[in-house]
Amino acid sequence: MTDTAILHDSIPLLDLADFVSGDALKKQAFVQDLGNAFNTIGFVAVKNHGLTDEFTDALYKAVQAFFYAPDDLKRQYEIQGIAGQRGYVGKGKETAKGFKVADLKEFYHIGQPKQDDGDVVWNEYPANVFPTEFPDFETYTVKAYQTLEQAGKTLLKAIALYLNLPEDYFEDKVKNGNSILRALHYFPVPNPDEIPEGAVRAAAHGDINLITLLMGASAEGLEVLRHDGKWIPITSLPEYVVVNVGDMLDRLTNHKLKSTIHRVVNPPREKLSTSRFSIPFFMHPRSEMDLTCLSSCVSASHPKLYVDMTAGEFLHERLVELGLKKQ
pLDDT in tens, 54-84: 999 999 999 999 999 999 999 999 999 998 8
d(CA 111, CA 282): 10
- Rounded CA-CA distance 323/327 in Å is 10
Bridge partners of residue 183, in order along the sequence: 108
Confidence of residue 327 (pLDDT cuts 50, 70, 90): low
Global pTM value: 0.92
Question: In this structure, are strands 43-47 and 240-245 parallel, antiparallel, or unpaired?
Answer: antiparallel
Name all domains of the chain by residue range, CATH numbers in brackets: 51-321 (2.60.120.330)
- Intra-chain end-to-end CA distance of the chain, in Å: 48
Q: Lowest mean pLDDT: which of 9-13, 47-51, 208-212, 255-259?
A: 9-13
For the stretch 223-275, pLDDT in tens is 888 777 888 888 767 789 999 999 999 999 999 998 888 898 888 888 888 89
- The answer to which of 90-94, 161-165, 254-258, 289-293 has the lowest mean pLDDT is 90-94
For range 121-144, the mean pLDDT: 96
Task: Tell me how far apart the alpha carbons of residues 274 and 150 are, in angstroms, rounded to a whole number.
Answer: 33
**Cα 220 to chain center, whole Å?**
17
Residue 93 pLDDT exceeds 70:
yes
The confidence score (pLDDT) of residue 217 equals 65
Q: What is the mean pLDDT of the chain?
A: 90
- What is residue 140's DSSP assignment? H
Q: Which residues contact 48 (CB under 8 A, 6 or more apart)?
A: 15, 16, 17
Whether residue 242 contacts residue 211, with contact meaning beta carbons closer than 8 Å, is answered with no
User: In this structure, how many other beta carbons lie within 10 angstroms of the beta carbon of residue 229?
Assistant: 6
Return the H-helix or E-strand segment holding 211: strand 211-215
CA distances 31 to 24, 25, 115, 162, 267, Å, are 11, 10, 32, 6, 36
Say yes or no to pLDDT of 166 above 70: yes
The rounded distance, in Å, linking the Cα atoms of 325 and 327 is 7
What's the CA gap between 47 and 55, in Å, rounded?
A: 15
CA 101, distance to chain mean position in Å, is 22
Residue 90's pLDDT band (cuts 50, 70, 90): very high
DSSP 24: H
Q: How far apart are CA 52 and CA 239, in angstroms?
A: 7
Q: Which DSSP string do the residues of 242-309 spell out, in sequence order?
A: EEEE-HHHHHHTTTSS----EEEPPPPGGGTTS-EEE-EEEE---TT-B-PPPGGG--SSS---S---
- Higher-pLDDT residue of 192, 286: 286
